[in-house]
Structure formats: structure tokens, C-alpha cells
Amino acid sequence: MLLKEALARKIKDSRGEYTIEVKVNNSIASSPSGKSTGKYETPCFHKSLQWNIDFINKAKFNLEINNFNDLNKVESFIKKSAKLKDAKQFGANALFALESAILKALAKEQKKELWQIVSLGKKINKIPVPAGNAIGGGLHSSNKDKPSFQEFLLIPQGKSAKENFKIMQEAYKKLKNQVKAKGKNDEGAWQTSLTEEEILEVLSKFKNIRIGIDIAASSFYKPEAYCYKNKCLNSQMQVMYLNSLIKKYNIFYSEDPVQEEDFSGFSEVVKSSNHLVVGDDLTATHIDRLKKAIRKKSINAMIVKPNQNGSLLELKEIFNICRKNNIRTILSHRSGETMDNALADYAVGFGADFIKCGISTKYREVKLNRLVSIEKRIKS
């Protein structure tokens, strides 16, 4: 495929904030945006959203793109023409939307699916398991008496993506009354006044569902202490408190249990439990942070967010490093989402173990539906 030009424009995300959409030939891709953003995330845009839009609209690419690895040419072009040391300085949202639109156009031209382009034709042998946010607190929720933990995730144990989607949806519906829901939050998860323990108590009654939590601990870490509604805990107490919850409620997955600078605190959680200890703000989808977390044995699972990095080539490398080091991978949406469903293609194509993309609202359902249709295609 000869990539001549791309068209960029601004669109609104699910939170009503502006983000970037890029069109290559007739293929469209866009980037989401986060609210509980990690300190180490790549900035979304270079100088501003408008600067990136103007740059893309004026660029004369003239690049021959025939497979996933040819994104190298795109990144070199950007570095040279925007005079950057690293393509990521272009801004993660802008780079991701551009690369994603290029791959979608390539897929269309080669009459393939996006996930086939991403996997470079390798045989796909697994469909990622969804981890769906059902109940929310922290920065994503607006009710005053919300829990401090940001997300309570349902990790279904069905035999297929289709069954898993159904299990999550049914549980999500039941939860509305069980947690006395006060509307939905940014990710379509129920808002509630119940405490962390009361929510875990409810979740532990479901069969076929394992419990995940995104503590997003940096968001309530006031210098030196984790401050909840009714208590402040130092780092050691935070680890002890979490370990007691993990044990009592048989928690399968905990994301960002301590704040994003605390590699040793993460290691303590890994040492003292045998569940998935997931880095998100800690690792911020960056290779160097991942390598440090591996050296320090801080995690055994990692969140990968395309727009926390921007480069799909680096994302591929991250998946390779994780595989070699036995780190489970979770490809994740953001709290501000678009209708782009490519997250499912990337999760399948890169071979992610899990996909975190919510349960409810059209922005989340579109990704789960895409996962189900990819599964159907692979099985047929």
C-alpha cells in the first residue's frame, strides 16, 4: 500500500472531551484518554491537539507500507519531519491514532482483518478473557461517598468470549440493586456508597466470576499515606490491609495496589500473595519501567494501554518482553473512550491474556462485540 496522506480532525470522546481521529484512505481510527493518568505516561499530543492535526493534514508521507513492521518507516518519517529524537514525542494519542488508521487501511487493502495484520499472520491460539469494570469509585466516580478503590472488575470464567460477555452483563444487571447504584460513572460502572469490603462481599457471592480490583493507589496517596474515607494507612499498613482483603475475598487480580513510585511495595504484594499483581500507573506502558519492574519482581501482570505509549512497534516489544518473563498482559481501554473497536483486534493480534474494556455503554460494548465476532471468525 502506498501511504500518501492522512486526514486528521478532532472528535469528542465519551466524556465530551476532544481527542484525535485519523483517516487513511477510508479507514478511521481514534485515541481515547485517561483521567487517572500515570505520571510516566507519554503526553497525548506534541504541542497541542491542533498542532498534531495540522501536522498530519499537511504531511506528504509517500511510504510503501506492506506489513506491520513497516510502521518503522512511519516513525522515521515523523522523527525527521517534526525534528524529534523519538517518535513518541509526537504525542501518544496522535501517534497511536495515525498508526492504527494506517494498519486498518492496510488490512482493508490486503483483504485481511486488523488482528491478522497485527499478528503478522501467526496462528492465533487464544482469545483474551475480559476484565469488566462493574462498580467504580476513585477518580472515575462523582458521588461524594464513593469508595476509594477505582474499579471492581468481573473476570468471568466462561468457555468463550461470547459466554464471558453474557456472564458479565447478567452480573452487572444484578449488581444495580445489590450495591444500591447511584447512576453510572465515566466507564459505565455503577456508582455506590458501599465500602470496599461491602462491595467485595457482594461480588464474592457470584459463581463463575473471579474478582479483580483496580486500586489506583496513586490517586489517594497523600504524601506518605493512603487516605480512605475513614482511615489513613502508611505503606506497610496498606500492603497488610490489601493482603487481608485478597485472602478473605479470594481476589484474583489487583492493579496498582500501591503508588506509582513504590516498586518495593509492589514486590511486597507479589511476595505475600499468589494472585495477579498488575502494574498500570507503575509501568505506564513503557519499556524501561517494565524492565525495572521485572528486575525488582514488582509485578506478575501488566496493563498495556496503546495511548499511554503511542508506538505500536513498542507495544509489540512490550508483549514480547512480558511473554519471555512470564508477565501476564491486559490490553486496556481508557475511562474516556471513542467508538473505535480496534482494542479487541490489538488484544487478539498481540496475544494478550486479558482485555479490560468495561461492560456497559456503547463505547465499551462495541469492543466486546468485536471480540465476540473475532472469536467466531477464528473458530469457524
Give the footprint of ligand 2PG on this chain (CB under 6 A): 34-37, 150-151, 187, 214, 216, 280, 303, 332, 334-335
CA distance 53 to 48: 9
80 is a catalytic site residue = no
Give the containing element (helix H, strand E) for 19.
strand 18-24
C-alpha torsion sign, points 280, 266, 355, 36: negative
Does the footprint of Mg ion cover residue 340 (CB under 5 A)?
no
Q: Of 113 and 132, which CB lies nearer to ligand 2PG in the complex structure?
A: 132
CA distance 163 to 175: 18
Helix (H, G, I), strand (E, B) or coil at 131: coil
Does the footprint of Mg ion cover residue 280 (CB under 5 A)?
yes
CB of 134 to ligand 2PG, least distance (A): 12
Task: Identify the active-site residue in 187, 255, 268, 314.
Answer: 187
User: How does DSSP classify residue 152?
Assistant: E
Q: Which amino acid is at 317?
A: E
Task: Identify the active-site residue in 305, 316, 356, 367.
Answer: 305
Buried-exposed string 17-46: b where 16+ CB fall within 10 A, e elsewhere: eebbbbbbbebbbbbbbbbbbbebbbebbb
Partner whose binding site includes residue 310, from Mg ion, ligand 2PG, none (CB under 5 to 8 Å by kind)? none
305 is a catalytic site residue = yes
Q: Of 116 and 148, which CB lies nearer to ligand 2PG in the complex structure?
A: 148
Q: Of 8 and 129, which CB lies nearer to Mg ion in the complex structure?
A: 129
CB of 245 to ligand 2PG, least distance (A): 18
Task: Tell me the three cell numbers of residue 118.
Answer: 497485527
Q: Of 25 and 341, which CB lies nearer to ligand 2PG in the complex structure?
A: 341
Which string of x and - marks every residue 231-270 that binds Mg ion (by CB under 5 A)?
Answer: ------------------------x---------------
Helix (H, G, I), strand (E, B) or coil at 190: strand
Among 21, 75, 187, 214, interactor with Mg ion by CB under 5 A:
214
Find the residue with minimal CB distance to ligand 2PG.
34
CA distance 380 to 23: 31
CA distance 171 to 186: 19
CB atoms within 10 A of CB 122: 10
CB of 138 to ligand 2PG, least distance (A): 8
Does the footprint of Mg ion cover residue 187 (CB under 5 A)?
no
Q: What does the binding site for Mg ion look like in residue numbers (CB under 5 A)?
A: 214, 255, 280
Tell me which residues are annotated as active site.
187, 305
